[in-house]
Structure 1
Amino acid sequence: MRVDLFDFELPPERIALRPALPRHSARMLVAKGTAGIDDRIVSDLASMLNRGDVLVFNDTRVIPAQLEGTRGEAKIGATLHKRIDLRRWQAFIRNAKRLREGDRIQFASDVAAIAEQRHPDGSFTLAFEGDEPVETLLQRAGRMPLPPYIAGKRPTDERDKSDYQTIFAREDGAVAAPTAALHFTPELLAALDDAGIVREMLTLHVGAGTFLPVKADDTADHAMHAEWGRIDSETADRLNAARESGNRVIAVGTTSLRLLESAAGEDKVIRPFAGDTSIFITPGYKFRAIDGLMTNFHLPKSTLFMLVSALMGLERMQEIYAHAVADEYRFYSYGDSSLLIP
């Protein structure tokens, strides 16, 4: 499909630079099939679901994956986006023309890495020096990797260390938050429990590739960056049993959705999964594992807007987003939410 079909006008003032406080007070657009649009707030979520429905969350934890360093006199920026092993990460590099394979980058007085290999997309494999875990080094030298559409408007600060982390975060490895779950608070979870809504967890370490623009003119020519994920056998069994019992599985966030769909076969059975996925979902895709999606509002011409268009239909999503813009919903990572049930 032509990428320009997924474009839309978005006034810059619709981009949220801070999350709503409390988090569950964010607005939530509810769209079910073709039947209108309902303007609610996230704290209404329990009343929008049925007893026995399953919400699937991503428990990845964002690491301080943005680094500023030097190679000689040259300033080098690095955004880690995919772990290779205990000491090596693939990273997008700013000022990459000043970096060659074998160069040493000094990120802090006691944090350095070797640029081992340049990849075809311009990224590098960075091998961190020393014996300390890389996560420990990042706590000293790194900062939270806010999306460029926020970081370009204001600097990262101490508040982002908690704001850009979900209540479920426990598995270190993401360089972007699974932002649909940023809206969840203990109060909202208690309301969901009282309503009989089930929670399940999986892990997908979100990579910085999620923010990369689609440069191709046709979706068939776009290559997704791989991300590592895991669904254990017990979770897969419970999800399959829920659907067999007639309950709905609703992914909280496109990251949860993409991993569930990666783990499901054509028979619509979810299987244990541990490995990389680069699934790219566009209109025409037949969903196998989910019955709905809770997600924030996405960039024009982004792979994530293509995904929700596959779920609801492109014309329906154009209608939904036109309503969201006109009604002044807040967009992107720190913005408002939507509940989409095809």
Structure 2
Amino acid sequence: MMSTTAYQVTVTGELNPGVTRESAVEAFAKLFKVAPETAEQIFSRAPMVVKKGLDESTADKIQMALSRIGVQSQVGMSEASSPAPVAEEELKPGNEITRPVPPPLEPVPQPAPPGTVEPEATIDQGEEQPGFKFKIEGRPDFAFLTVKVPGGKTLRVEASAMATMDTNMVMKTKAKGGLGRFLTSESIFINEFTAQNGPGEIGIAPASPGDLAHVFLRGETIFLQNSAFVASDMGVTVETKWQGLTKGFFSGESLFLIRCSGDGDLWFNTYGGMIMLDVDGDYVVDTGNIVAFTEGLEYSITKVGGYKSLFFSGEGFVCRFSGKGKVWIQTRSVQAFTGWVYPFRPVQNKG
């Protein structure tokens, strides 16, 4: 009797000679149609399975496509996708067949040629990866997060963000953030979802239309704009941080930031698409486009030009970062959008 053999493709984290990490991450993101920060996380956590449940021909094509952009990978045999017995020895998980990585066709990354099979946008997490297993769909415009919660574990979720959940998920509402969240018009409550009587699954839909990012904290700290928090592991401490009157008032943004620190998963969202920037030195970002930044970066609020530019250029205050770290920005600004919509508002004729 015959059985269908399934294969998987694993990114090893190694690059072909002459290929830089930055160019490989950019080419990988375009090939798999994922956000650059997602591609960066995959390389940081490699080896990592990026596609499984494939036939041998498709797995070979994906491996070749990865080789063309300078990324080394392995094709391995996974569990048989058909439960029917085989003529000789039944395949078992872990009986992987590793093949040598083919040599690069070009020393620099190039887009896949016409006819090459492009992998789907969904990335399959390897079982060895830390934290909750999750999937982000609908990005970058209307990202939707699905998290698998092990039995007995709890996930902290922003109020009103739960869209779907298993019946064994139990919700408790707790007050968090106090006066800081109240003054920023955010809900002072955060919901905690616990999987009882076995593992569960929850679907999370952020309020604003845009992208979602995931970071696994290992004792680090990330600061979020007041409306960016979506969900986190209970090992992550979420609290409000006073920016001070000068930074908060003159930036035109909230007087408070959300400080997330500790160990575990953290998800946050944007209005529009999301781009992660590596800052080493000084960098300027409009205050309305900041989503998050890592601890260690100093920032100050200044004018982008003189007072004439401030009032007539259409540009306002900017945030000047200095130091070394990461900044996440959103490709759209709520304030800019409301300003664009304002002339089209319906006006009642008083005559």
**TM-score for the superposition, normalised by structure 2:** 0.26
- Quick check: which one's strand share is greater? 2
Greater gyration radius: 2
Structure with higher RCO (Cα < 8 A, 6+ apart): 1
User: How does the TM-score come out when normalised to structure 1?
Assistant: 0.26
Higher helix share: 1
